[in-house]
Structures are given as C-alpha cells and as structure tokens.
Chains A and B, each alone.
Chain A
Amino acid sequence: MQAKKVFAKAYLWLVLIVLYAPILFIVIFSFTEAKSLGNWTGFSTQLYQNLFNGSMQNSSGLLAAVKNTLVIAVIAALVATILGTIAAIGIYHLRGRKKQVMTFLNNIPMINPDVITGVSLFLLFVFIGLSQGYLTVILAHISFCTPYVVLNVMPKLRQLNPNIYEAALDLGATPAQALRKVLVPALRPGMISGFILSFTMSLDDFAVTFFTRGTIGLDTLSTYIYADARKGGLTPELKPLMSIIFLIILIVLLAINIRQSKQEANSSKK
C-alpha cells in the first residue's frame, strides 16, 4: 500500500511538473530583460517596471488590449449571469418537450468548437449588416458564457425548497421582491461560480473574438498576442503581464476552493 501511494504521488507530481513547465518558463523569464523567451541576461525587474510606468514600445496597444479584455469580460459575465439565472429558473419550471428543447439549445454553445461559434456569428453579423466591434464581441461572449451559468445555477434550484417562493408571495411580497430576497440569496453560490467561469472563459477566448471583432482594430489580449506572434517577436512585457494574471487566477481559485471546502466541512458538522 505504501509503495502504491508513493508511486501515485510521484505520478501526480510528474504530470503537474510537465503541465506547469511552460507557465513556469514564462514566469522565470519575466525576470530578465531579454526580448525573446528562453534568453537569460541576468535578473532584472525592468519588464515589470516598464509594464507599470508604461514605458515600453507600443504600450498603448497592449494597455488598450488589456482594458478591452477586462471590459468585455466584466460586461459579458454580468449579462450572462443575469440572463442565465433567470433562464435557469424558467427552465427548471418547464416540463416535457419544452424543457428538452431548452436543454438541447443550451448545450449547443458548449459543444460547438470556438471556430464554429466564431464563424457562425461572423456570418450572422455580416448577413444582418451589424457593424462589428465591441457590441458584437460582447454578444458573442454572452452566447458562449450563459450556458455555463445555467448549469451552475441549476443544482442550487434543485436543492431549494420549491415552496418558499410561493410562501414569500403569500406573505405579500411582489414577484420582484421574492426574487431579490428569497431566490437570489439561495442561488448566489451557483451564480458566483457561473460568473467566475464566464469571466475566465471570456478572458481566455481567442477564436470567437477573432471572428467577431470586425476591422476597427479592436484588440483583446488574445488577439494582440496572436498578431504579435505572427509579426515575429512577442512584446517582452507580455511575460510579466501573464505572470501577474497567473498569480491572480491562482489566488482566486485557491480561495474559492478553500472557502467551499470549509463550508462543506461546516455543513457536515451540523
């Protein structure tokens, strides 16, 4: 048994090391000044300084891309969370064929590869003559984020006592009040994980943004990196930027999971 345990641990660590090698590579080489990855010219925090005081070549392009990425992700995740939560409540109360149809439609964006989602929306926007830019990218992001909100809210609805909404209405609450004071607090954990999931998927998206951003020069971090790499030679300041993003995501995810396991431990004690 002991040997098996050692072997299992060793395997996990081996896979983790391989999985993280490229990320660690970026982090390590963010602390040197060399332009290309893999070129070590001594320890330096110059790239971090450049990033924060904006003294790098084409700094406006990179900073605009970061800003666009964040704005799009926040708006798309917010709208997806609201739309998805309301939709989840509706779908939960649907019966029979209608429920099947909604579940099926909700699955399509999750099964579709990004390229198909991107191309199909591109053709739609071309067809109806909607000029592509911020709005189309946000609409596209909402379309692939919302299904995940629905899936995260649904289990919380199943745990909810179906009568408490009616009870609130009987006690004189308006439907809006009942939603705000009864349903939303009960569904909040699912909404939060749906929001975070949507936010990170929007941040990470490349293909859908690529097809729906139009030709007005709208860049997100992904499309910026793509254009940069095709030109040959990445902007060196991307390395510290990615390292910082990595650290933030690591902290957020660990915090969420530690909080969740604490909550589970608490509820199992009761």
Chain B
Amino acid sequence: MNKRSSWALPYFIFLVLFVVLPLVMILLYALQDGSGHFTLANITKFFTDKDALSTFALSIEVAIENTLLCILIGYPAAYILADNKLNRSAVTVVLFILPMWINALMRTLATAELFNMAGIPLGKGTLLFGMCYDYLPFMIYPIYNQLAKMDKSYGEAAQDLGATPGQVFRKVTLPLSMPGVWSGVMMVFMPTVSTFAISEFLTNNKIKLFGTIIQENINNSMWNYGAALSLIMLIIIALTTVLQGSDQTEEANGGLI
C-alpha cells in the first residue's frame, strides 16, 4: 500500500520545479530592481502609475460584467440542458462545450469581423460581447455538471410539501447548484482580467486589459515590473480561491469530456 503512494513522487518533483518554483520567481523578480537588489519600488510604482491603475480598474469592471453576463445567459441554458424533460440529447450538450476547443484567437478575430460587417464600432460593448462568446461555454459546463448530478428527489420533495415551482428553484435548485456557479466564476473571472490579445482584437487596440500590460512589460524587457504586476494578480487569485474554498475545483472539473 505504502509503496504505491511513492508513485506520486515524480509528479511532486515536477510540480515543485515547474509550478512552485516559477511562482517563486515572480516573487523574486517583483522584489528586485534591474541589478538584483531588493526593492519595493516595483510594487509602489504600480500604485502610483495612473495608467496601470485605471487599466486594472477597467479590467476588474469588465471581468465582473462579463462574469455576470455569462451567468445570466449561461445559467438558464445549463438548467435546460440538465433537465431531462426539456432536453434528452447528449449531442446538444456537446454542441455547447465544443467552442471551447476551437482556437480562441481565431474565434475572436471572426467575432471582430462580424461586428465590422454589421457596422458596429469596436469598443467596450463589442469587447464585452466578444468576451462573453469566448467564455460562455466555461460557465455553462460546470453549472450543467452540478445540476445534472443533483438528486432530483429534493425538488420533488419540496413540491410535495407545497412549494411553488418558483420556490423550489429559489430554495432548492439554486443553492444546490452554487458550487457549479462558483467554478464557472473561477473559469471566467480571472481569465477575463488577465486576457491579452483578445481585448486588443475586439477593440482594435483601443482598450487594454491587465494581461496586456503584463505582456507589454515582459516583452519590453521590463521583467521586474512585469513580475510585480503578475504578483498583484496572483494575490487576487489567492484571495478569490480562499473565499470560494479551493476544494470545489476538483469536483467540477473532473471529466470535462
């Protein structure tokens, strides 16, 4: 029994080398100046950098709006998909998760072209709708998963006890589906904040999101400042993960196909 637990060792070493150590590198570079001396200047630079701060605020705003939009459109879709009275076909479910496998850049470019053809000027509105196209499947799938494995007899019991369909949904179905919603939020919110390329394509370079600033700094050899910006994002990720309770990810992501 004990012997087989040692099979985790190679992967443990791999994780330390290529997951933990790289994150330590972010911390290391964020707290150094160009010549390798310890400094907090990179962090304070962010808090005094008006452009970076406004981009950061805008990214959080877009991410919140995008996440809400995805829940608003995605939840009903997931609900219908999971209800076997309304949907019997597994193929429909596949059709909903399929866009996840298509190259996101190509889809985004096509979306931008569609807006161009329809004569809609590229800007914040198109950014939001384009983001929603890109991330909707990532919201629908975990919610669907959660609803599909939910024990239907809870709802039936509530109904037998005199609850109206609205009450059943509010007091039984919705609370039980919340872990799925949270996984969806994790899969939509942080990726939206950190996205680059996608926001540039959807707004014709007019709107930058936080990911773009990180990328620009790294590509222009401003590694230390780029690392500091990444560190700020890491802290936010850590906070949202702790708030949500990190043990839910395993359940919701299992068996994505």
Question: Contact flags (1/0) for A240-253 with B, using CB distance below 8 Å?
Answer: 00100110011001
Instruction: Please indicate which of the listed interface residues A5, A93, A119 has the most CB atoms of chain B within 10 Å of its own CB.
Output: A119
Q: Could you tell me if B257 and A9 are in contact, using CB atoms closer than 8 angstroms?
A: no
B218 within 8 A of A: yes
Number of A-B contacts (CB under 8 A): 263
Expressed in whole angstroms, the Cα–Cα distance for A165 and B133 within the complex equals: 46
Q: Could you tell me if A226 and B105 are in contact, using CB atoms closer than 8 angstroms?
A: yes
B87 within 8 A of A: yes
Q: Which residue of B lies closest to A4 (CB)?
A: B86
Residue of A90, A117, A154, A211 touching B5 (CB-CB under 8 A): A90
Question: Contact flags (1/0) for A18-49 with B, using CB distance below 8 Å?
Answer: 11111101100000000011100000000000
Given contacts A222-B103, A229-B109, A245-B103, contact A21 B255 (CB under 8 A): no
Q: Could you tell me if B230 and A5 are in contact, using CB atoms closer than 8 angstroms?
A: no
Specify which chain A residues have a CB less than 8 angstroms from the CB of B253 in the assembled complex.
Answer: 110, 148, 151
Q: Could you tell me if B105 and A253 are in contact, using CB atoms closer than 8 angstroms?
A: no
> Which parts of A95-117 form the interface with B (CB within 8 Å)?
95, 98, 102-117
Q: Could you tell me if A116 and B19 are in contact, using CB atoms closer than 8 angstroms?
A: no
B98 within 8 A of A: yes
Instruction: Please indicate which of the listed interface residues B76, B133, B253, B255 has the most CB atoms of chain A within 10 Å of its own CB.
Output: B255
Q: Could you tell me if B77 and A257 are in contact, using CB atoms closer than 8 angstroms?
A: no
Q: Which residue of B lies closest to A121 (CB)?
A: B22
Q: Could you tell me if B133 and A22 are in contact, using CB atoms closer than 8 angstroms?
A: yes
Residue of B7, B26, B90 touching A120 (CB-CB under 8 A): B26
Q: Could you tell me if A111 and B249 are in contact, using CB atoms closer than 8 angstroms?
A: yes
Expressed in whole angstroms, the Cα–Cα distance for A193 and B2 within the complex equals: 28
A78 within 8 A of B: no
Which of B38-46, B155-163, B170-178, B233-241 contacts the other chain? B233-241
Q: Could you tell me if B227 and A146 are in contact, using CB atoms closer than 8 angstroms?
A: no
Majority DSSP secondary structure for residues of A touching B: helix
Specify which chain A residues have a CB less than 8 angstroms from the CB of B85 in the assembled complex.
Answer: 5
CB distance from B211 to the nearest CB of A (A): 5
Specify which chain A residues have a CB less than 8 angstroms from the CB of B95 in the assembled complex.
Answer: 16
B62 within 8 A of A: no
B243 within 8 A of A: no
Residues of B near any A CB (own CB < 8 A) = 1-12, 14-16, 18-23, 25-26, 28-29, 73, 76-77, 80-81, 83, 85-87, 90-99, 101-111, 113-114, 116-117, 133, 136-137, 186, 190-191, 193-197, 201, 211, 214-215, 218, 223, 226-227, 230, 233-234, 237, 241, 246-247, 249-250, 253-257
Q: Please, could you name 18 A-B residue pairs with CB atoms under 8 Å apart, sorted by A?
A: A8-B87, A12-B80, A12-B81, A20-B99, A86-B11, A102-B12, A109-B19, A116-B230, A120-B22, A123-B26, A123-B223, A150-B11, A151-B254, A154-B254, A193-B255, A197-B256, A226-B197, A257-B257
Known: A116-B194, A226-B105. 7 other contacts (CB 8 A): A87-B12, A122-B218, A127-B28, A139-B18, A152-B255, A200-B101, A207-B197
